[in-house]
Each structure stands twice: as C-alpha cells, then as structure tokens.
Amino acid sequence: MIQITWDSNRCTSPRQCRKCLDACPQGVFMTYPRDGRKPGELTENWCVAPLFLSLCTGCQICEEICPENAIALSAG
Amino acid sequence: MCQFCVEHGEGKKWYLQAKNYSLELVNEERKRFMADFFENVERMVSDRLGGLDKLMAADPSGAKGVFPQLVEQQKKEHWGQVVPLEEIEQILDNSVAVVRVPCVCRSTLRGIRDARYCFGVTSGLKDPRASVFRQYPDYSTDLEVLNKEEAKKAIQKLDRNGLVHTVWTFLTPFIGGICNCTVNECLALKTRTRLGFPTFFKAEYVATIDWETCSGCRDCMKVCNFGAISYSAYVDKCSINQLQCYGCGVCRSECMRDAITLRDRNAVPALKNEW
C-alpha cells in the first residue's frame, strides 16, 4: 500500500498553491482546516491530506510538481 | 420509484413533493445537524469516506460487508438523487427565493472557496437556515440571492456544460440544496464511481439514443460523467448502456440532433430496482 506524507513545515499555503490537488490524475487529495472551522471566522490554516489513497498509483506527479517538496511517496 | 419516492413522495416523486422543502422540517435537530455539517464537513469526509477508502484498500470484501450500515446512515443524514433539468426547473418554480453558495465538495477537493455550484431553495430571506449558514464565512460569504429566472438560467448554463444536477437531504427527507456535479469534483459522484460506494440514487430516468436521428458525432460521449455511452464504428452510432446510465440528461442537452430522450426508469424491467 502506497503511503503519502505531507510536510506542514514545507507546505504553508496549500489553498493558494493547489498544485498537488489539481495535478493528481486520480484526485487523491483533499484539504481540511488544520485547527477546525470556527463559527464567524474564515478558515486560514489548511492542510493537504490524501483522501482517496486507494486510487493512488504511485505515479509521483505530486512529488514532482510540489514547489516546496512537501509531498513524499513511499511503498508501504 | 426510488425508495424515497415510496417513503416520502406521497404519490409524487419525493423531490417534487413540496413537504420535503417545508420550513416546518427545519427544527432544532436539523439546524444543529446543518451547523455541524458546515462546521465539520472536511472531518466527516475524512472520517467516513477516507475511512471507507482505507478499509477498501486493506480488505475489499470486508469493506463491502460494512456498506449496508454505512449506506443506511448516509440515507438518514445526507443522501441525494440525480434530477434532470426540467424537474430542477420545477423545483425552482415552487420556491420563493434561491441562494447560490460555494460547493463544499469543490472546497474540499480543489481547495477553492468560490466555486458557486450549489443552490439553496428557500422560503425567502427570513429563512431560519440563513442564521445557521451565515455562521460559516467560508461558505456564506459568497451567498447570493437569485430570483427563479436567474437561478434557472444559471443551471441551464451548467447543464449545457455537462454538469449533473442533484438534490441533497439534510436529515432525510428535508431537501436542503441542489448541486451541479462532475465526477472529479463531487465527493458523492466520485465515491460512487471510483469506490463503488453509493451516496445517492440515480435519476428516475434513463437515457436512450434514437439511431434514426443519431449521426455518430460522439458529442454525447464527451459529456457523460459515467462512461455510459459507447460508439459503434461499424454502424457509426452511439449507444447508451442503460445499466451504467444515471439518467442525468446532459447527453440529451448536448446532442445537436435531439437524438436522445429520457425514459422512465421504472418502466424498464431490469432498471426499476437499479438505483
């Protein structure tokens, strides 16, 4: 099973960049609010995480496209 | 008719039954559910769909074993149905006002806040749900109020762009919204077509192509989100796989020769239980 890790120290503005979200041909990724969503506030801190991990083929397009090298694939 | 038509339609298709849009259904429980939904949608998606995905990767047959109870939970809380354009227009005709809002699926999958594909059918500007929704600026900042004609025009345009129209419950049978979906940007369509886990009913219809009229141009194939259309080079015509068709009708809208019609799914013996 392929593992995908996302480094929050390297990826600081996922919703501005969005490269992995758009580049993945399988649509594996999702974004979610790092600290949850608070009523009355716009969410500012986001994470990227794999949602449909079973669809990942290990093509590594996400690793290649990330300008911050925040994504790493490893064979499980 | 689908299960919800039988249980909640009272003689009509459930999504054309006015009671299922009634504000009387927006009680404290529903308001809390909706607040919870908008506050925690990403966590719910990650827990349920992500959890299901992990389970399927680790143990496909075991995963299928838990489908029935997960489907039951989804059906109670948040379930949808594909609805063709003319019936969406009927729903809009019966509303007082319509709000257009950002789609949570596009936010989750594409990371964008301004993809306004969802339409809320409301009873007017003092709709009590507005106070729930406005708590979440991520989704309510781009809230626009449209009149029925504006809403219809907007959805007609999305229809011509090949988007699938769907209605969604928030604690069934209350229908909270209409969305316009694509297989890559809609969590429900994606989960069903890629993981095989149903999150909505197909439409009450199924499409078919009249070969007398079909010219074999294949424009319909380009818009089908479900891969239900194939081309026969031998006869230079397209065919729709009725078992794969969801009855959305975008192929019909695309066909320049009007070769495609939607038939009642319930009138086709092998399809009346195919939801």
Comparing C-alpha atoms, which of B80, B71, B75 is closest to residue B52? B71
pLDDT band at B124 (very low <50, low <70, confident <90, very high): low
Give pTM, 2 decimals.
0.94
Pairing outcome for strands B200-201 and B80-82: parallel
Whether the upstream peptide bond of residue A50 has omega within 30° of 0, thus cis, is no
pLDDT digits (tens, 9 = 90+) for B53-68: 998 888 888 888 888 9
Q: A54 and B112 in contact by Cβ < 8 A?
A: no
Comparing C-alpha atoms, which of A49, A13, A7 is closest to residue A32? A49
**B54-58, B189-193, B197-201 — which is least confidently predicted?**
B54-58
Residue B240 confidence (pLDDT) above 90: yes
Comparing C-alpha atoms, which of A6, A22, A17, A26 is closest to residue A74? A6
ipTM of the complex: 0.94
* DSSP-assigned letter for residue B9: -
Sheet arrangement for strand B144-146: B144-146, B97-101, B118-122, B175-181, B164-169, B80-82, B200-201
pLDDT digits (tens, 9 = 90+) for A20-35: 999 999 999 999 999 9
Residue B106 confidence (pLDDT) above 70: yes
Q: Is the Cβ of B268 closer than 8 Å to some Cβ of chain A?
A: no
Cβ atoms of residues B160 and B253 within 8 Å: yes
Q: B110 and A18 in contact by Cβ < 8 A?
A: yes
List CB contacts (< 8 A) between B64 and chain A.
Answer: none
Out of B35, B109, B138, whose CB is closest to A42? B138
* Chain CA centroid to CA B165, Å: 5
Average confidence (pLDDT) over B184-199: 95
Q: Is the Cβ of B110 closer than 8 Å to some Cβ of chain A?
A: yes
**Tokens at A73, concatenated:** 């694939």
Question: For chain A, which ranges sit under pLDDT 70?
Answer: 76
Give the separation between CA B112 and CA B50, rounded to whole angstroms: 20
- What are the residues facing B263 on neighbouring strands? B206
Residue B142 confidence (pLDDT) above 70: no
Largest CA distance in chain A: 42
Using the structure block, give the residue that is written with the tokens 């699938």. B164
Residue B132: the pLDDT is 83
pLDDT band at B127 (very low <50, low <70, confident <90, very high): confident
Q: Is the Cβ of B64 closer than 8 Å to some Cβ of chain A?
A: no
